[in-house]
Each structure stands twice: as structure tokens, then as C-alpha cells.
Structure 1
Amino acid sequence: MEHEMEAAGLASGSGLTTGDHHPVNSGLPCANCGAIVEDRFCTTCGQLASDFHRPVWDLVMSSLADTFALDGRLWRSLPLLFFRPGRMTRNYLEGKRARYVPPFRMFLLASVVFFLTLFTLGDQLGWYHTFKINDMLEEGLDLGLDETGEPTPIVSEDRLAEIREQLDSADLDEEARLELQQTLNDAQHGITVQRILQDDGRINRDALYDEVNARLDENATVEQRQQAWRAADHAATVYENQDRYGARIREWAPRFSLMFMPILALMLTLLYAWHRSRYIYDHVITALHVQTFIYMTATVFLVVAAVRPSMTGWLVLFGVLTLIVYLYKQLRVTYGTGRIMAMLRTLILLFSSFIVLIILLALLIAVSFALT
């Protein structure tokens, strides 16, 4: 997926250049279709009327210049996108399209830059190493292994010692002490990870099955025992392959994020379903511009968080507030919505988007497990 992202980014970037760095022989027949080329491009087939039979150094310099030189559309698009929400969308829908970068091209480029930044910084700063099941074991990980439906926790010896130390504290009130004692009882009833973990970091399946059998009722049916064993085996597989799951999540995250764009367009369609002057095309363009802003802003925040980790909490708060204000103004300007209805639709859109993102995240985790 990372190679696909790089290719998409290069393709998107190439669409922002003018090709002015290649000399053109206008007034001559097009080498592709034979039609006379009046200006830079053939009006029949669209091919650039440039002769590439030139010195190698000249070709290299022209190619580099063509790669890194962006035309004025980008610099006209970015200020409106960031500082005047909805204005570029409104202009684009009114037919003023030539002066701006095409919405999907800008969206694709922004998403590629965001995920490349996220993955690069995450690898260098170790962000992904914090999402380990090992850390979850320190707090206790519940598994539904009991035939009664009660969760059986897997905990570490360090966690048990920590709970006992807290119980020995004289500062606990009676309610907190009873709650902590119940936590200790549940943890002691569970499976201690040191009993089933081998020196090579893998789970001893025989020891795990023995622990599961010890916690099952002696009258448990064969089906109940098999179900408990399968759950335990799956949990052990997750523990042993957590790095692979992380790689799968990184591979599929960009694809699932792309799915959010048509979903956002659909939500906008439903919010403005009774506006007959608005078409699905309008909502798609709006969704593209909104997500482009989110990707670009999130990229900036990622870089700032990498440089100043202490500001991460403030960046998240500022990002949420910025998104609320941006969506409100986007709807106000693009659709001409009144203040009250714009705020109401903004809140509905944010709540619905949050639910959809939770669902997509759950599907992402499920897919990463299924493909491993």
C-alpha cells in the first residue's frame, strides 16, 4: 500500500505542473496524430508538442523542473481552502474551475502526504511500539473463557503485586478497599501470563489449555470446552503476532480512510435531501475539500507533535475546535445555510462521522486479524 501511495502522490503532483520547461515547436504537425499544433498542446489529441531529442543534461533538468515546479492554481487554492472555508467550493460549483486544483487530485495528494508523514514519524519516534498487548497485560486483559460467560483475565505478576500494594495502603476508604479487593479476587481467578509464556515470547499451548480446563466447570460440555480452547488459542495467536497485525493495520488504514469520502458525501446528501438545487456532485466536491483540509491540517499537527510532544493534548483540543468552526463555515458559505441550521447540521455531521469512524476502525482491526 505504501508503494501505491507514492505512485498516487507522484501522479497527483504531476497534474499540478504546466509543462513550461519543455520547449515546444508550435505550428508544426503533431507527432502523434498529424494535426497542426497552434500552441503548446495538440487540440486534437492533447499531446505536448515538444521535441525530446535534446542533450541528456537538458532533459534531466527539464524533468526535475517539471516535477518540482507547481503552477499558480495550487497557490490560489491553498489560501482559500485554509482561511476561507467554503469559498473555493462555492466558486468551483459555480463553474470557476480552471483557476483551482481539481478537488480529487488535491484530496489524493493531501492524503498521500498525510499517511507518509504519519508512517515515517511513527517509525522514527516509536509511536507504534506503544500499542502492544504486553502493556495491556499490565492492567489485565479479559478473555471470555468461562462457560458461565464471566470474563477470565490474563494478568501479570507485576499487576497482582501492584494491587496487593494498593490494598496495604492505609489511605483507602472502605468503598475503595472493597472495590480493589474484588479486583484482586478476579485477577487471582484469572490466568497469570508467567504461567503460559515461554522464553522465546511464544505461548505454551499445553500450559494454556491446562489453565483453561482448570477454570471450566467439570460438567462443561464438549462444545463449551472446544469454544473456550478456540478463544484461548486465538488470544495466544494475537499475542504472538501483534507486530504483524500492526503492519496489516498500516497497510489497510489508507484504504479505509478513502472509504470515508463517499460516506461523508452521502451524509451531506441526506442533510440537504430536500434542497432540489443541490446535487450529489455538489456534496462530493464539498466532501473532497473538507477531507483535504483535514489531511493537510493533521499533517501539520503531526509534525508539531513530533517536535513538541508536550503540546499533543493542546493540539488535539485545538484540532477539534478548528474542525467544528471549519465545518460550520463550510456549510454556511457553500450551501448558504443559516446560522442555526448550519450549527445543527455541523453537530449532526460530527456525531455521525464519529460513529462511522468507530465502525471503520472496528472493521480495520477485524480485517487485520482475518488476513494474518
Structure 2
Amino acid sequence: MSQPISDLATLLASMQPELRPGVFVYVRGAPGAVAPEAAIEAMVEEPEGPTWVIAEADAERLGLPVLFRAAWITLTVHSDLAACGLTAAFSKALADAGISCNVLAGAVHDHLLVPIEQAQAAMHCLQQLSAQQPVSPLTESACANCGATMSGAFCAACGQARFVEADRRLSHLLKQAFDNLTDFDSRLWRSLLNLWFRPGRLTRDYLNGRRQFWMPPISLFLLANVLYFFAPAITDFELPFVDQVPGPLMLEVLQAERTIPPDEAARMAENSGQMHSRWTAKWVKERVAARDAGAKAADPSGHYTMADYARAYDARSPDISKLLIIVHVPIMALVLSLLLLPLRRYFAEHMVIAFHVFTFILFDVVLLVQGMAWLAERWGWPLYYPILGALSLLPIWYGAETLRKSLDLSAIVAYPVAFALMLGLVLGNISIYRFVQFALIFALT
């Protein structure tokens, strides 16, 4: 084994920081708690309970709340435990750059745990220090984001990098966009991958206050909504005029386009339409009659038919329907608040759960269900219907796992609640969403 070094100049010149792969987290146990079944990297015993540093994957597997998410940097120099000044030197360099640091001193090496999103900045700072270069001597200025005084490359108050003139250029904007799209440790990709493959993790962290690491629930929903906006129409969310009205009005529209066989026409005439049709059919009849009268007053040969109004309605329906799809989220939150009333959770917490579950449903429908339909249409895929059935059950599984992990529910409770939630979503779509959709499009046409 090498001999420990105590000379500060030698330590700084030869410390050679090394970034360990992986993500490490601080977790805490109650007083007297038994160590978790994980590889413990470090442990501190305190009267308030033990603190453990473990791999993030182990914390996720064990469902342990995370206090701090860090990158692990090891100074590979063999530092003497009695050496003076090393910790002060690298702590000051990191602090000047606006990077927080938790230090673990081993018998041979010093280990630094820094915020995971600042790992590369910390490595650069330490490498500059090791090369005995000045760590970006910058004049004090006000942070462009929060107004706090900053003297380093990053603001110690909010963490934003110092704003410089080069940040105004198009190249900076394009580089930022490219970095976000290609960096799989960015908030965007981290959030999407965990939303898809780790149900409940984002929800649990958001409810527990760990929010900086993930995209907000509504931002994820809006991202899915953009994808849905450009996807082919989904019948349950975007209903054309003939699906919103009772059979007699449907017949008026369809008979203007083609000949309807008598038996088919008889079946259509018996269709009662949507739940709202008992009131809204009267609105449509009165509007068409008024416009027809106006057309005849302007020109005796003029007329305005139900088919004319259907075309006007269908021209506005796609855009309005896709904008209104967010109505499903408060419906789901209301259902959840009733199903989980004994838990006495805030309605906003049920909204967070609803946002994540419904966002997954949108991705499921747009990417998977419609993807399967596209394959079946072109290749006549024989497995389409069995897979479609499985994909239709996927939201129940996802909802149950989200409830289980975010609210600590047992599977016996979570799965029936998830099934009831999906049933409530369907009923809310039929009774509330379709009426709101029809009423708004009617008001605009």
C-alpha cells in the first residue's frame, strides 16, 4: 500500500478525482432500525436514527424514501487522515462554483457526494484545482434567475449557471435542445422512462416533496397531449356529430350521403344517442330550423339541412376534442378521492395520481394500441385482437401499481381500486366529457 500524503500541495496536484458509475442516495432509518438488505456504501449512526448511503436501484427496490441523490467522486490520492487543508481547498472550489458537497473520509481516500445533476461540473472544478489552475475567477454579479449575488459559475441560491452573452446565440439554443433530447439523464427522459416502466415512482416522489428531479405531472401530460394531438382520432375521445345525436338525427345526416336499407334505418332510428341527447337533440333541431329559415328568407330556393350542420360540427370537433381531453383528469381525481376517502388525502394529491395514470393511458393508446392497429391494417396480423385485449387491461395494472407504490396500499386494495378507477373513467367519459365536448362545439358552431 502507498504511503499517506500530508503535504497540501502534493495532495492537490495528485488527487486525480474519479467519478464512480451509478447514482447513490442518502436514506434514513428510524432509531434502532435494522440495516436494509442492500450494499451499504456508508453509514452514520445518530440518536435520531441511522443514515445509509446506498445505490439508487436498491432504494427503489426496497421502497425507501430518498433524502439526497448524488454522484460519487473519489479522490484517488492516498491522503493522510491528519492532513490539513485538503477538504477546505476542494470544498471552497466547489462552493465557489455553486456545488454542494458531502464528504466521506476513508482511511485511504476522500469521497465526495455531489448533486447528480452537477457531477460533470464538479469533476471539471476538481480537475482545475488539481492542475493548480484558478477555478474560473469571476466577478460578483446578480443571478439572472433569482437575483442573488453570485461569484462562481453557478448560483448558490437557485443553481442556475451564470448567464453570459454567448447564451443569447442560436447555437446555444440548439445545443441546449440537442443535449436535452440526447441526454438520457435529463429530466425529460428520466421522467418518461420512469413513467413508462416504473409506475408509481414519479407519483411517490412528487407526493413526498422530491420534485426537482422530475418533470411536473402536468408537463408530462401536455407532452403526451401533443403526441395525441397529431395522432389519428380515437373514437372514445373524439366523437363525430352522428355519434353524439340520437338515431333520427343521425339518419338525416347519413341519408343525405347514401341510401340506407330499411332494416338498417329502422335500427338507427331506435338509437337513443348519448346520455345528453335527450336535451341536446332539441338544441340541434332548433338551430338547424332557424338557419334553414334564414337561408330561405335570403333565397327562396336556399336551404340548410342537418347534414350541413354535421359538416360544420365535424370541422371543429377534432381540435376541440383534443383540447378538452384534460377533463378526464379531474374526473379520475374525483373518483379516486371517493374511493380512498378513508385515507384523507388532499384532492391535489389525487390529481397528481390522475395526471400520471391518464398520461400513461394516452401513451398506451397512441403508441401501442394505434401502433398495433396500424400493423394489423397493413399485414393482417392475426395476434391483433389478443394483444389489443391485453393492452386494454394494461391501464388497470398501471393504476394499481401506481397506487400501491405512491400510497403504500396493498395489492388486495390497489387492484380493486384501480379497476373501479378505470370504470369511473369510462362512466365519466360517457356522462360528463361527451356532454362538455358537445356543448362547447355546439356553442362554437
TM-score of the pair, normalised by structure 2:
0.50
Residues 96/153 of structure 1: CA separation in 2 closer, same or farther (3 Å cut): closer
Counterpart residue identity of residue 30, structure 1: A
Counterpart residue identity of residue 162, structure 2: A
Tell me what 1:49 maps to. 162
2:195 and 2:362 map into 1 onto residues whose CA distance is: 12
Q: Aligned residues: percent identity?
A: 26
Aligned pair 1:323/2:395, yes or no?
yes
Compare the two structures and name the one with the higher strand fraction. 2
2:350 aligned to which of 278, 283, 298: 283
C-alpha deviation, 1:287, in angstroms: 1.3
Q: Which runs of 5+ in 1 are unaligned?
A: 1-16, 123-127, 145-150, 164-179, 190-225
Contact 2:332 2:424 in 1 (8 A): no
Contact 1:28 1:37 in 2 (8 A): yes
Counterpart residue identity of residue 62, structure 1: H
Contact 1:42 1:49 in 2 (8 A): no
C-alpha deviation, 1:292, in angstroms: 1.8
Structure 1 runs of 4+ with >6 Å offset = 151-154, 226-229
Deviations 1:43-102, CA, capped at 9 Å, x for gaps: 38x875222258x9xx33221121232252333333332222213322332233333222
Compare the two structures and name the one with the higher helix fraction. 1
Contact 1:141 1:154 in 2 (8 A): no
What is the total number of aligned residue pairs between the two structures?
274
Higher relative contact order (CA 8 A, sep 6+): 1
Deviations 1:281-324, CA, capped at 9 Å, x for gaps: 32122112112211222221334433542466556423311112
1:341 and 1:251 map into 2 onto residues whose CA distance is: 38
2:325 aligned to which of 235, 253, 257: 257
Q: Secondary structure in 2 aligned to 1:239?
A: helix
Contact 1:41 1:49 in 2 (8 A): yes
Contact 1:26 1:40 in 2 (8 A): no
Q: Secondary structure in 2 aligned to 1:100?
A: coil
Contact 1:37 1:43 in 2 (8 A): no
2:411 and 2:360 map into 1 onto residues whose CA distance is: 22
Q: Which runs of 5+ in 2 are unaligned?
A: 1-116, 122-135, 270-284, 294-302
Counterpart residue identity of residue 283, structure 1: H
1:102 and 1:352 map into 2 onto residues whose CA distance is: 25
Contact 1:305 1:315 in 2 (8 A): no
Residues 296/51 of structure 1: CA separation in 2 closer, same or farther (3 Å cut): same
2:161 and 2:257 map into 1 onto residues whose CA distance is: 70
Aligned pair 1:240/2:308, yes or no?
yes
Tell me what 1:271 maps to. 339
User: Aligned runs of 1:278-317 on 2, under 5 Å?
Assistant: 278-301=345-368, 302-309=370-377, 310=380, 313=385, 316-317=388-389
TM-score of the pair, normalised by structure 1:
0.59
C-alpha deviation, 1:270, in angstroms: 1.6
Residues 143/285 of structure 1: CA separation in 2 closer, same or farther (3 Å cut): closer
Counterpart residue identity of residue 63, structure 1: L
Tell me what 1:336 maps to. 408
CA RMSD, 1 decimal: 4.5
2:206 and 2:287 map into 1 onto residues whose CA distance is: 58
1:64 aligned to which of 170, 174, 180: 174
Residues 255/154 of structure 1: CA separation in 2 closer, same or farther (3 Å cut): closer
1:307 and 1:107 map into 2 onto residues whose CA distance is: 26
